[in-house]
Amino acid sequence: PLAKPVAEIPTGKLVTLRRKAKTCRACPLWRDATQTVFGEGPASAKAMLIGEQPGLQEDQSGKPFVGPAGHLLDRALDEAGLDRDTLYLTNTVKHFKYEMRGNTKLHKRANASEQAACRMWLAAELLRVQPRVVIGLGAMAAQTLFGDAFRITRERGQWRELGEDVRGMATWHPSAVLRMPKPDQRHQAYAELVADLRDVVAVLA
C-alpha cells in the first residue's frame, strides 16, 4: 500500500528478504555503507513503524533505531504502552548515507532515486508482515505512504485507509523531535508523538 511506484517486489520470508537485501546493489549507497540495515521484528507484528534511513550507529550495528533517535523512540513507545518487541521496525531506505567532514561521517538525506530504488524492500516487508497499522515516522516515510503532498505539520496523527483493514498514519520523526531548537517545541512534539503512538494502541485493541 505505497503511494509511490515500486518496480518488482522481492518475495520470500523475512529471513530470505533480509538475506537478499544484504547484497542489494540497486542504488550506489551500498558502496560506502557498512551494511544493509533491514527491518526487525516478528512477521506476525500488527503494527509496522517506518523511519527514514539508518544513522551511524544503525550502520555499525546493522539494526534499526539503536542510536539517539532510537532511544527517544524507545522512551515514547514505553510511555505509549507499546512493546518494541511486538512491532516491526524498519526504514524507507536501508543504507546509511553520509559525507565526510574531517573524520566524522555526517548524515545525508537519501535522494529521490535512492528512495525509489529501495522501495521494493519496504513493499516486500509490508506484503510479508501484513500489518494492520502502518506508522510513518517523518516526511520521507509519510510521503512514501501517502504521496509527496503529505505534510507532517498539517496531517500528523490522522488515520487514513491504506488498504482493506490496513490503517496508516504519520507522526514526528524522533530525530526531528531531537533537533527542535526550542525546549517547549521539543516537548510538545514529543507529547504529540506519544499521543499518536497511544492511538496505535487504541486502534489495535
Footprint of ligand URA (CB under 6 A): 51-55, 58, 64-65, 67, 69-70, 91, 175
Q: Which residues contact 14 (CB under 8 A, 6 or more apart)?
A: 39, 43, 125, 128, 129
Nearest distance, CB of residue 118 and ligand URA, angstroms: 13
Nearest distance, CB of residue 165 and ligand URA, angstroms: 27
- Report yes or no: 85 and 41 within 8 Å, Cβ to Cβ: yes
Nearest distance, CB of residue 67 and ligand URA, angstroms: 6
Nearest distance, CB of residue 190 and ligand URA, angstroms: 16
Single-letter amino acid code for the residue at 13: K
Return the residue nearest ligand URA (CB atom): 51
Comparison of 122 and 205: residue with beta carbon closer to ligand URA: 122
Comparison of 17 and 50: residue with beta carbon closer to ligand URA: 50
C-alpha–C-alpha distance, residues 133 and 88, integer Å: 10
Comparison of 85 and 184: residue with beta carbon closer to ligand URA: 85
Comparison of 106 and 202: residue with beta carbon closer to ligand URA: 106
Biggest distance spanned by C-alpha atoms of the chain: 50
C-alpha–C-alpha distance, residues 126 and 63, integer Å: 18
C-alpha–C-alpha distance, residues 205 and 198, integer Å: 11
